[in-house]
Amino acid sequence: MSTGKSGGKTGGKPAGARDMRVKVKKAGKLKHSSQLWLERQLNDPYVKRAREMGYRSRAAFKLEEMDDRYKFLKSGQRLVDLGCAPGGWCQIAAKRIGLEQGKGYIVGIDLLAVDPIPGVDLIQMDFMADEAPALLTERLGGRADGVMSDMAANTTGHKKTDHLKIIALAEAAVEFTHDVLAPGGFFLAKLFQGGESAELLAMLKRDFTTVRNVKPAASRADSSELYVLATGYRRKNTEDSGRDEAE
C-alpha cells in the first residue's frame, strides 16, 4: 500500500500538500474491482470509526442514524435481527433497548456462525425454515416488538437480477414478520431503489400504519441501497382471529 504525494498545486491542493488517501498497489491476481473495493474500505471514515468504537461493521452506524431520527428502538423491547452477521446491528440494538441492564431480549439469526455478543441469543439457521418462526417466538418469550433485516442476496453483477433477488429476500422477511410480530411493532429492511419494490411497499402500507423509505448518511452515496421502515403493525394474526371466533 502507498500514499501518493502532490508535487505541485493539483486538484485545488496547495504545493507540497499530501494526498492522504490510501491507495492499493495491484499485486498478483488481485482483480481491479477487488483493488477498488479494498481502497474504498481503507479510506471509508465509517469503517475507521467502527474499528475505533468496537463495532463489527460500518452498518452499525446506519441503524444508529435511523433510530436517532425515528426512535423505533425502545427500552425493554424484544427484537429479531434477520441475517445478523457479523453483529453490528445487534450491538447497537442491545445498547438502545438496555440489554446490559437486563431489559429486553434480542435473537439474531444467520446462516453463518456469529461470534458471541453479550446478552444476544444467536441462532445459526435459515430464517425461512418452517420451524424458525416458532423457535424464535419461543426464545423471545412471546411475539417480537421489532424485526430488523440488513440482509442482501449474493450479487451477480446484473443490476436487474440483483434487484429482484433483494426484493424476494425482503418479501420473505415480511412473511416471516407476520408470524412473529406483535401489534404495534416495527419492521426494518434493506432494499435497493427500483420499480420492483412497489408491490412490497403496497403490502407494507396495508399492514402498517406508517411506511417510510430511509437513506442513512452511512449508506455510500454511490449505492442504490435504501431501507424501508414500517411502524405500527396492525395486521391481525390468523391464529389470533381463529381464537377470537372460538370464544
Examine the domain organization and report whether 92 and 61 are in the same domain.
Answer: yes
- Residue 240 marked as a ligand binder: no
Per-residue b/e over 158-195, b at no fewer than 16 CB within 10 Å?
Answer: eeeebbebbbebbeebbebbbbbbbeebbbbbbbbebe
Examine the domain organization and report whether 62 and 16 are in the same domain.
Answer: no
Examine the domain organization and report whether 187 and 68 are in the same domain.
Answer: yes
Residue 184 confidence class, pLDDT cut points 50, 70, 90? very high
Examine the domain organization and report whether 18 and 74 are in the same domain.
Answer: no
- For the chain, the domain total comes to 2
Examine the domain organization and report whether 85 and 111 are in the same domain.
Answer: yes
Residue 150 has pLDDT above 70, yes or no: yes
Average pLDDT rounded to a whole number, residues 65-85: 97
Residue 54 has pLDDT above 80, yes or no: no
Supply the pLDDT for residue 244. 37
Examine the domain organization and report whether 33 and 100 are in the same domain.
Answer: no
Supply the pLDDT for residue 16. 43
The alpha-helical segments, DSSP class H, found in 181-237 are: 198-207
Residue 18 confidence class, pLDDT cut points 50, 70, 90? very low
Examine the domain organization and report whether 142 and 185 are in the same domain.
Answer: yes
Examine the domain organization and report whether 177 and 109 are in the same domain.
Answer: yes
Assess whether 23 carries a catalytic annotation. Answer: no
Examine the domain organization and report whether 62 and 28 are in the same domain.
Answer: no
Is 194 a domain residue? yes
65: buried, middle or exposed (CB in 10 Å: 19+, 13-18, 0-12)? middle
Catalytic residue among 190, 205, 215, 236, which? 190
Examine the domain organization and report whether 179 and 149 are in the same domain.
Answer: yes
Residue 241 has pLDDT above 50, yes or no: no
Out of 39-48, 94-103, 165-174, 184-193, least confident range: 39-48
Is 50 a domain residue? no
> Measured between alpha carbons, how far is 64 from 83 in angstroms, rounded to an integer?
17
- Domain encompassing residue 99: 57-240
Is 175 a domain residue? yes
Q: E strands, 37-120, where?
A: 78-82, 105-110
Is 51 a domain residue? no
Examine the domain organization and report whether 109 and 215 are in the same domain.
Answer: yes
- Residue 110 marked as a ligand binder: yes
pTM of the model as a whole:
0.77
Is 49 a domain residue? no
Is 246 a domain residue? no
- Residue 87 marked as a ligand binder: yes
Out of 8-22, 86-100, 125-139, 186-200, least confident range: 8-22
Tell me the pLDDT tens digit for each residue of 212-230: 999 998 776 666 788 999 9
**Which CATH number do you get for residue 97?**
3.40.50.150
Is 196 a domain residue? yes
At 238, the amino acid letter reads T
Residue 156 confidence class, pLDDT cut points 50, 70, 90? low
Examine the domain organization and report whether 64 and 10 are in the same domain.
Answer: no
Is 92 a domain residue? yes
